[in-house]
Amino acid sequence: EQRRAQAQILDQQRALAMLQERERLARELHDSTGQVLGYVSFQAQAIAQCVRTGDTTRAEAQLARLTCMAQDAHADLRDSILSLRSGTPEHWSFLAVLEQYLAAYQENFGIRAELLLPPGLSEGDFALGVSVQLLRVIQEALTNARKHSLAKSVCVTLACEGAQATIVVADDGVGFAPEALPAHGQTHFGLAFMAERMAQIGGDMVIKSEPGAGTRVVFHAPLAITGEEG
């Protein structure tokens, strides 16, 4: 009877965590879509003005920018849908969902994706609250690899030592100098988003990159949040 009650509590926690996560992702999707549509509207008006004045050269340049924006928005939308579909409250499995996401990422974006797991790693090693946040920061790091690094391949490595987990998302892209990142880059590259999520579970994040040498995003996190059991 006690085991049944514990299982019911765990199911309720899982359902609540996934519902909250989907609501958060839905808000993010709504905000990003609004920004894109605002940009499209502005560019369309500017192009119409160029056409009226006969400035075809400028109109063509703005159309090219609009095309690039539409292509980026389409890729971002597919990425967001992948995130929203990553697991359900009834069938949440961190490692299985991560494998499925990487397979879809490779198929959708043509970027080779590899997952390296240590022998003996099991689903029960990660508490629910930790695994949900880890999945989202991994997805954000992979989005950066697609949008900014121009990577051809990515590799996600998980390792556990004691009560701590280390996750590395590495790509073979163009790389950059982290110290040269402008202040607004924290938002532009989703770094604030990832840092905030890691802080929520008592973890941290380190970015290692050099121009021409790819990027490694390293996440350190406890396997369980205080007061939560896996």
CATH number of residue 201's parent domain: 3.30.565.10
pLDDT (tens digit, 9 = 90+) per residue, 135-190? Answer: 989 998 998 898 888 899 999 999 998 899 999 999 999 998 887 776 544 445 57
As a whole number of angstroms, the distance between CA 214 and CA 176 comes to 8
Asked whether residue 6 falls in the same domain as residue 109, the answer is no
Give the single-character DSSP code of 126: S
> Structurally, how many domains does the chain consist of?
2
What's the whole-model pTM score?
Answer: 0.66
| Last residue in a domain, options 30, 55, 89 | 89
The two tokens of residue 23 are 């609501």
As a whole number of angstroms, the distance between CA 53 and CA 187 comes to 37
As a whole number of angstroms, the distance between CA 220 and CA 140 comes to 16
200 or 114: which carries more pLDDT confidence?
114
CB 224 within 8 A of CB 133: no
pLDDT (tens digit, 9 = 90+) per residue, 57-116? Answer: 888 888 887 787 676 666 666 665 665 555 544 456 889 889 988 998 998 889 999 999
Q: Which of 21-25, 34-38, 107-111, 181-185 has the lowest mean pLDDT?
A: 181-185
CB 194 within 8 A of CB 90: no
- Range of 57's domain? 1-89
Residues written for the chain: 230
